[in-house]
Structure 1
């Protein structure tokens, strides 16, 4: 698959705009479909600002103004005809997503890859009614999609691994380090692990063991210290496997296994809290401090990308040396 093929996207909200930016930055022509053409102006403004950031960080040699010429925004899904890959990034609603896929199948070739940037909906469910479900994949991005190296490519029960392998090679040309899930599971890799961590964090706070601030401080200075360098399995290799077995045997029976959402977050949402986007969250913000935290997060995202690139995960070992369980 040529790395300079024309790529299609559907949806240009915050995440969709970030995805389009990543693909544009890799040198592709992009056609982006929106529901209402009035969405095009604010989307172009977002994408231009993202491209400008990438240029200022030295990631792009061409200017944002040059690169943004390579995107076409339309409300006519028929303009995606002839595209080899189309990535959907609309609301997390099964019926709405399936409506888009039905329209895509009317205009795309039978072997064109359709990807969904879903973070929670099973891929097998999304592909269930397609004429050609074998070419359908979950393509899970992290925000900000144009900065992070994260991507998960998920096969549903009817997906053909050949398409997933093509998508991995393409994503690598976008500066991603994609992970492959050969079997569909709700939440995929990172969300399953992250939400298990969040459940335990809420348990500690709601039962009076620690404050929100103390939980954040501990995780930032321990987990946050090593997680960009190594995932949990590499970290156990680096720090001694037997000790982890001992702790697991003692600790696992004590961990929270609640199936209910925590009351603390339900209460905040009921009060209208969305986080820094409206200056209401677990922490107190002014309008200015909320904007400052957003700015710092973007700056940190660029810094952590550079750090991850400096410490490659491949230090000379052959693929055959990596154990498969």
Structure 2
């Protein structure tokens, strides 16, 4: 059944790589989109990028409407007044509390008090973003994964002041966008995936920096173990599938020995200081030429489509009935 909210116009703020990917997802789901940007001179570049994403979706059989028709449904503007009347606005700018809150203050001058403001933040507590606003109850975190127009991931995050009715409305909307959203009922820095991923990254750096394994070895082990089951099961289902008691035994033995340092990895600081951005500038943990960096980017997009199809092939209801 079609979600009755699916055709409402949605506003976005920011059309960088992630913002463009979000706009693509919304267009593909049937919404018209009004995108507020800081520099209107970048509108043509953003429109070209979004059209390319739509063409990718069409080539993968995930789009039934022609990209040339959908691209007509986005308005790119530098006037906040053009967002007047929108019921949902999704902000996707840099991870700066001050800049995000300035955007919200501008939005509050044109939006109705019941319009939802969703922030694509990956770590900033939503309660911090809500503070000082006229209507903090309608502000939520809306955490997307890259590429936003392909992945099924989404976290909807409540702040201390959030009205749960707005959160449930966003969950319903996210499902109509082809997402499989998780709802965080209480605010916590980093949310679900980032808290777990950065705990894993801390241990990965610990193993490399202390000579236990190379970057390549760590990647190889995780790809061929974690990478084989995580899309299918998630950690709690995986423990159900493989026998719970053994995990308690390992936890008692291993937890005291895991890295708990509050310091950022030396290796990471040195790479960033040297200008490394990964495949974006062909300078990262691995050696790249511009050609191989581009090839890895293309492989990542192709893999994202393939893993989406595989996950859907084995998808089950998110929760089984309680006994």
Shorter chain as normaliser: what TM range? over 0.9
Out of 290, 293, 296, the residue aligned to residue 293 of structure 1 is 296
| C-alpha RMSD over aligned residues | 1.0
Q: Which sections of structure 2, spanning at least 5 residues, go unmatched?
A: none
Matches within 5 A, 1:1-325: 2-314=5-317, 317-318=320-321, 320-321=322-323
Cα offsets for 1:261-309 (capped at 9, x unmatched): 0000100001100000000000000110000000000000000000111
Cα offsets for 1:158-213 (capped at 9, x unmatched): 00111000000000000000000010000000000000000000000000000000
1:230 aligned counterpart, secondary structure: coil
Q: Could you tell me how far 1:316 is from its partner in structure 2?
A: 8.5
Q: Counterparts of 2:5 and 2:221 in 1: how far apart (Å)?
A: 45
Q: Counterparts of 2:144 and 2:205 in 1: how far apart (Å)?
A: 25
Cα offsets for 1:62-87 (capped at 9, x unmatched): 22111101100000011111101000
Q: Which sections of structure 1, spanning at least 5 residues, go unmatched?
A: none
Matched residue count: 320
TM-score by length of 1: 0.97
Q: Could you tell me how far 1:317 is from its partner in structure 2?
A: 2.9
TM superposition outliers: structure 1 runs of 4+ over 6 Å: none
Cα offsets for 1:40-97 (capped at 9, x unmatched): 0110011000000000000001221111011000000111111010000001111110
Cα offsets for 1:105-146 (capped at 9, x unmatched): 110111110000000111000001111111110000000000
Q: Counterparts of 1:82 and 1:119 in 2: how far apart (Å)?
A: 27
1:175 aligned counterpart, secondary structure: coil
After superposition, the Cα gap between the structure-2 partners of 1:277 and 1:128, relative to the gap in structure 1 and judged at 3 Å, is: same
Q: Counterparts of 2:312 and 2:86 in 1: how far apart (Å)?
A: 31
1:72 aligned counterpart, secondary structure: strand
Q: Could you tell me how far 1:315 is from its partner in structure 2?
A: 7.9
Q: Could you tell me how far 1:313 is from its partner in structure 2?
A: 3.0
Cα offsets for 1:2-31 (capped at 9, x unmatched): 211000000000000000000000010000
